Amino acid sequence: MKTGLKPHKNSQHTIEIVDVTAKGFGVGYIDGFTIFVDGALPGDSLRAVIIKVKTRYGYGKILEILKPSPSRKRSDCVVSTGCGGCQFQHFEYSAQLALKTRVVFDALTRIGGVENPNVLDVIGMNSSVLDEQIPQEVTGPFRYRNKAVFPVVPTASAGGFAIGMYAPRSHRLIEITDCNIQHQAHVSVLKALKEHMHRHKITAYDEVAHSGLVRHVMIRTSWATGEVMVVVVINGDEFPAEMEFCDRLEVSTVVINSNKKKNNTILGNDFRVLRGTGSIRERIGHVEYQISAPSFFQVNPVQMKALYDAALRQAALTGTETVLDAHVGAGGVALYAAANAREVIGVDIVQPAIDDAHKNAAINGIENARFICGAAEEVIPAMLSSGETHTDIIFLDPPRKGCEKTLLDAIITAQIEKIVYISCDPATLARDVKLLVAGGYKVVEAQPVDMFPMTGKVECSVLLCRGDC
């Protein structure tokens, strides 16, 4: 029976968990009052202590699991306390996939206002999709990340610094020695960096005092070639014993990035290559990509191919179309689609990414692609209003924040017939879909893809059309 009384902080309760959020909170109720419990799963019966109470909801912490969810499994994570990198290593993978399909459906209906959207089952990273491109250590939905960025922070411990991940919703660093979702090559890089910093008494960056040297280490690994890139981000210009550090690492290329800004951005604008070319090569399906340090590239090559295949199926190109890619990165879906289009045009705000896109077109012998550096919300409206190019289809693949309204307005005004919207955030996707639907488009299909197993994140490709598709 609902009493209307809120539970108070530090009180203990038995809670039945009925749902779970994408951020990893189980959802339960105490006399009708909503409680979010970190790490709880649907079907759990548990004893929890209330740690925070707000006006309409509160947060609880598990004290004891009285009856576990049928979807609960033993986590193999080597980190005893949550590092924030993932939420669901204790959640059966099939249940994760069902959740992600529902997350996309709920976002399109609740936020997007789309009635009964056609959301297909999420494409999971199951053993059936693994092929010879994948390193042997990758098993199902683990060891899939080809990129990692680890902060390096000063500590009061004897070592003087730690490398790891920030705990959820905090700035508290959890030291990492291994990670089940990271490529195995990343583990040895972390070990080598720690040894080098200890040997030469290299300090970690203190963002409050703006002192210390090493801020982050970024690692990228190619599944196709086995190449590894290491980028050390420093608050300065020189990294002690640079060549010794390169010799310590068994990697393809080592880059020093200088970032002296008094903020929490990861990369600065200055890159200096110590060894190798400063790039690695990756292959997705029939296309080879050269990737430099600042270029955006998906973190899961297997699921990237699944995503691009889904996007091309939705686009249904016949070879006669002019295709615009509004967030092309290092070539992205534009190069993947080039063989099926008359012309592809890519736009991106990052100049090194555009440089990579030009190189990648040349590497693959693609002659019907051109690329423009600039903000999509500025370049594309000007392009469409000038009438210089008739665009038949546009691919949108924006950052997590979604598209700028000026870009969406320009697409609506130009009445581009078909949109394939690729998104890593169902909420901002649905927000933008609502504007496009109001502008005359209809949602034909949404195809979720599990780009980030063991996390609540989900990628999605949505087809929108003005007429019949």
What is d(CA 185, CA 190) in angstroms, rounded to the nearest whole number?
9
Look at residues 272, 269, 170, 151 and name the one whose alpha carbon lies nearest to residue 212: 151
Q: H-type helices in 181-222, by residue range?
A: 185-199
User: Which listed residue (179, 424, 460, 465) is catalytic?
Assistant: 424
158-179 burial by CB neighbour count: b if 16+ within 10 A, else e? eeebbbbbbeeeeeebbbbeeb
Question: Distance (Å, rounded) from C-alpha 355 to C-alpha 348?
Answer: 10
User: Cα separation of 229 and 291, whole Å?
Assistant: 10
Q: Does the annotation mark 469 as catalytic?
A: no
CB atoms within 10 A of CB 367: 10
Residue type, 329: G
Q: State how far Cα 3 lies from the chain centre.
A: 42
As a whole number of angstroms, the distance between CA 58 and CA 210 comes to: 36
Q: What are phi and psi of 346, to 5 degrees?
A: -115, 140
Q: Where are the alpha helices (DSSP H) in 239-281?
A: 242-248
Residue in this structure with the two tokens 């203190």, named with its chain if needed: 206
Measure the CA–CA gap between 5 and 143, rounded to whole angstroms: 46
- Of 38, 40, 39, nearest to 17 by C-alpha is 40
CB distance 1 to 31 below 8 Å: yes
From the list 381, 435, 429, 430, the residue with the least C-alpha distance to 402 is 429
* Active centre residues (catalytic): 424
